[in-house]
Copies of this chain bind each other. A is one copy, B any other.
Amino acid sequence: MDLDGKLGSLVVEIESQLKKYLRSLTFGRSAELREMISYHMGWEDDLGGGKRLRPVLTLLCAGACGGDHARAMPAALGIEFFHNFTLIHDDIQDGSTTRHGHPTVWTRWGVPQAINAGDTLLSIAQQALLGLDATCGSVVAVRAAQELNQVCLRLTRGQYLDMAFEKEEEVELETYLDMIRDKTAELLAFSTGVGGLAAGAGDTVIRQLSVYGENLGMAFQVQDDLLGIWGDPAVTGKSAAGDLLARKKTLPILFGLRESEAFRALWRVENPEPEQVTAMADLLQACGAQAYVRAEAAEFTRQAFDALAELFSGGNADADALKALTEGLLHRQM
């Protein structure tokens, strides 16, 4: 089977298990709460629910360590539910009215019910992950649950900072990188590490898997910041220089605010004209922001590949798929 076929069938399996898990829970008179979650997951009218990247990584890491997917499945489900809890609350916090082109949960059901739907999904996530008790025993289940909650604490720390940054004039580049590590990369590190844990790998391997996941997450996010300004709208599906329009303080923009007086002046303009937006992107390129961010992305990418290469020098089908998937993710076209 080729890579796309292999990943495709993994996603189908994960999707089917996620649905089965949600169906197995009793909602009684609160059936609409299940509908809210089902809608967010993309299951109403088959809206399509995202790439399920994190649980795919968990299963592939488990397989690459010689474990089987079924034993790691509770962790995979827990992580995907967890990720979606963060999205529901994120959309409220950011005031985002659409996701994947559809109204967000809070837009459709109001903020109070959407907060509650997110809380529900967080408890479902924990519960699903604790299913590791049945497949791997209680020691593994407790450790995984402890790690998930450490990740959750770091994620909320990152989320705190991300929201706090909106009100700050300047943010240090290192502080920004810490924030995306907490908010995004730690969950990736857990997704990969727990695959090894479920497969019975030793601590050294698990740690190395986490290093891979963390760097993958960092590389992916930093690349996203690049694409948010210089990405081709035809490829990314987002508007050109979208992050400049949305006034998101991403890595290249923070670099520009630090290095370029001309950029700072234009950034202060409230509703910039299209030519001013183009000028800002050009200034970022001229002051070295693009080169800096490219170098950062390249460094995280290198570290992710190094970790992978060290881990699976021999390799098996899942390790090969993991490498190919990582290639695909980190060599996205601008």
**With known contacts A127-B149, A130-B145, A163–B93 Cβ distance under 8 A:** no
- Interchain CA distance A109-B150 in the complex, whole Å: 24
Quote the shortest CB–CB distance from A40 to chain B (angstroms). 14
- Interchain CA distance A120-B157 in the complex, whole Å: 8
Pair A28/B157 contact, Cβ less than 8 Å: yes
- Interchain CA distance A328-B97 in the complex, whole Å: 49
Interface of A is mostly: helix
- Interchain CA distance A273-B139 in the complex, whole Å: 62
Pair B156/A123 contact, Cβ less than 8 Å: yes
Pair A120/B153 contact, Cβ less than 8 Å: yes
**With known contacts A29-B178, A142-B133, A127–B111 Cβ distance under 8 A:** no
Pair B138/A126 contact, Cβ less than 8 Å: no
* Chain B residues positioned under 8 Å from A319 (CB to CB): none
CB contacts under 8 Å to B, within A10-52, are: 25, 27-30, 32-33
* Chain B residues positioned under 8 Å from A69 (CB to CB): none
Cβ-based interface call for A116 (8 A): yes
Pair B164/A149 contact, Cβ less than 8 Å: no
Cβ-based interface call for A161 (8 A): yes
* Chain B residues positioned under 8 Å from A33 (CB to CB): 156-157, 160
**Copies of the polypeptide in the assembly:** 2
- Interchain CA distance A161-B217 in the complex, whole Å: 38
| Cβ contacts A111-125/B at 8 Å (1 or 0 each) | 111011111101110
Cβ-based interface call for A159 (8 A): yes
Cβ-based interface call for A239 (8 A): no
* Chain B residues positioned under 8 Å from A152 (CB to CB): 119-120, 122-123, 126
- Interchain CA distance A175-B28 in the complex, whole Å: 11
- Interchain CA distance A317-B118 in the complex, whole Å: 42
* Chain B residues positioned under 8 Å from A30 (CB to CB): 157-158, 160-161, 164
**With known contacts A93-B112, A145-B130, A120–B29 Cβ distance under 8 A:** no
Cβ-based interface call for A333 (8 A): no
* Chain B residues positioned under 8 Å from A164 (CB to CB): 30, 32
Could you tell me which A residues sit within 8 Å of B by CB distance? 25, 27-30, 32-33, 89, 92-94, 111-113, 115-120, 122-124, 126-127, 130, 133, 138-139, 141-142, 145-146, 149-150, 152-153, 156-161, 163-164, 175, 178
Supply 5 A–B pairs (Cβ within 8 Å), ascending by A: A27-B157, A30-B161, A130-B149, A138-B142, A145-B145
A30-B161, A130-B145 known, 9 other contacts, Cβ within 8 Å: A30-B160, A89-B115, A115-B118, A116-B156, A116-B160, A119-B159, A127-B146, A133-B142, A138-B139
